[in-house]
Chain A
């Protein structure tokens, strides 16, 4: 509850302050437009040659693109900038101030920095998703809708936990400037359903860097191609990974405070 209120406040303050810098908005608009164009062009090139990519039709792949923008936008709007700032705080010693606040420190470092203009990506994601669903034409039944929502939430939790674990490493290796970029570049691969990749890469993108759960699985849910086993697996991972991240965070904090030495 406190977490949501704090997030809302950060969002509000972020919006109020960012409205002064219209140039940032224009830049983000440009960046998102290029991202969308690249994605659509990619789809266009592939489907100029074939109507089916690893079992996915063009409109179904549009669903993947939509979710790619939506999840990526969410991560880049709040989690990634917040964790980047957290890592900076550890380097500069300003994490001390966070730790003296009567709020859960992990929550606080996860929501403290909001990149408002990433809302553009989220809006694009939702827009593409709507277009794709309209073109697909097949009615989304309650089962698909539910599977999609559950898989999306699970994916978000998994991505958050993954980023959190990466960022927490900063307690051991003070200089980790680019660790979150690892995720960013891997995430690019999520623009395509991971089922089209060779199995070794697919495994990597599922369990090593959980892009598959973040994008492909919710898309499968929406187009009615998600097995119950896979959904259960996603939910199980969505419970286990945040728990692991939490444990790792506490381990890091113990090291920070010198309690483990």
Chain B
């Protein structure tokens, strides 16, 4: 596939294997491990390949331990791959050239980079010095971030006095003062309440749009990905499972439709219609294979006192959950990789 612009990010057969120490339980084994360490190889990323175009926002999905963070860390230049290649903005990330580092940022939801005891504004001042941001650019960037995130009242406060949501806002803003073109966001909404999550999401979308920034985002919250990314990359057990549009993911991995009916009065023996997901008073939710959804709908309408009926795709969370809980042979990466649109 030839594109008019070079990809912002290009990954070829990237692999990472960790060697982890192993210790049997028990005192004798512990003592033996003092001089003889047994290690075993753990494959964190088992050869993944993808491209991301400049300005694209891509959701990076996978269960815990799938290799998301490891991949992100390689692309941010923190880890050397065991094999394979990657180019981000034309640089090989793990060379950590300053010209590359000045153009990218890494945000990890579960870790702080603002200094705990000093006011937010002082941490920003340090970042300004580190990135050598000219004072006018800095003021401009801060004003813009303030407009999007309402940072004003938070700036004079020490980080330890901020709530989790406030802290995340400040973390993100601090990571974007130098206006990076490449953003690696690892679980940026972790632990936040729904309002704060929405806030952060809207902000990331606005920033990416305004600055044509490329964003690679991992999250446990499907809502994050649904709101931000048109394209998702799913990795599972270190391998690429799916790469394409979010809608396609649902189509491909969910052979089911959800049918919801509202009844006029209670009816017995609903089991004959198929798998019942839930019954809430007069609202019945059923699951049916895609191919049988139409026939089921007809039967329901004919045989039951239906007031209202709707057919929908199951929630994405449920789809993803099915993908990840599938046994290894079913979710064989090589078999399920889709070609991206």
Interface residue SS majority, chain B: mixed
CA distance A226 to B117 in the complex (A): 45
Please state if B122 and A13 are interface contacts (CB–CB under 8 Å).
yes
Smallest Cβ distance from A194 to chain B, in angstroms? 36
Please state if B19 and A96 are interface contacts (CB–CB under 8 Å).
no
CA distance A102 to B177 in the complex (A): 14
Q: Say yes or no for A200: interface residue by CB 8 A criterion.
A: no
Contact A257/B106 with A13-B125, A13-B126, A102-B98 known, Cβ cut-off 8 Å: no
Q: A5 — which chain B residues lie within 8 A by C-beta?
A: 129
Q: Say yes or no for A208: interface residue by CB 8 A criterion.
A: no
Q: Say yes or no for A97: interface residue by CB 8 A criterion.
A: yes
CA distance A101 to B98 in the complex (A): 8
CA distance A13 to B105 in the complex (A): 24
Q: Say yes or no for B311: interface residue by CB 8 A criterion.
A: no
Q: Which of chain B's residues has its CB closest to A85's CB?
A: B115
Please state if A17 and B117 are interface contacts (CB–CB under 8 Å).
yes
Please state if B106 and A100 are interface contacts (CB–CB under 8 Å).
yes
Q: B108 — which chain A residues lie within 8 A by C-beta?
A: 96
Stretch at the interface among B50-58, B74-82, B135-143, B287-295: B74-82
**Segment 87-143 of A: residues with Cβ below 8 Å from B:** 92-94, 96-97, 99-103, 108
Q: Which of chain A's residues has its CB closest to B101's CB?
A: A102
Contact A9/B129 with A96-B73, A96-B108, A261-B19 known, Cβ cut-off 8 Å: yes
CA distance A96 to B76 in the complex (A): 9
Interface residue SS majority, chain A: helix
CA distance A128 to B73 in the complex (A): 51
Please state if A100 and B16 are interface contacts (CB–CB under 8 Å).
no
**Segment 238-261 of A: residues with Cβ below 8 Å from B:** 254, 257-259, 261
Q: Say yes or no for A46: interface residue by CB 8 A criterion.
A: no
Please state if B111 and A92 are interface contacts (CB–CB under 8 Å).
yes
Please state if B104 and A100 are interface contacts (CB–CB under 8 Å).
yes
Please state if A100 and B125 are interface contacts (CB–CB under 8 Å).
no
Contact A101/B101 with A92-B111, A258-B16, A258-B79 known, Cβ cut-off 8 Å: yes
Q: Say yes or no for A16: interface residue by CB 8 A criterion.
A: yes
Please state if B78 and A257 are interface contacts (CB–CB under 8 Å).
yes
Q: B33 — which chain A residues lie within 8 A by C-beta?
A: none
Q: B125 — which chain A residues lie within 8 A by C-beta?
A: 9, 13
Q: B79 — which chain A residues lie within 8 A by C-beta?
A: 257-258
Q: Say yes or no for A185: interface residue by CB 8 A criterion.
A: no
Q: Mark B53-92, 1 if CB is under 8 A from A, else 0.
A: 0000000000000000000010011111010000000000
Among B77, B80, B99, B132, the residue within 8 A (CB) of A100 is B77
Q: Which of chain A's residues has its CB closest to B105's CB?
A: A100
12 sample A-B contacts, Cβ–Cβ < 8 Å, listed by A number: A2-B132, A6-B126, A9-B126, A9-B129, A16-B122, A17-B117, A17-B122, A94-B111, A100-B106, A101-B131, A102-B99, A257-B80
Not counting A13-B126, A259-B80, a sample of 13 additional A-B residue pairs whose C-beta atoms are within 8 angstroms of each other reads: A13-B118, A17-B118, A94-B112, A97-B113, A99-B78, A101-B101, A102-B98, A102-B101, A102-B102, A254-B80, A257-B79, A257-B80, A258-B80
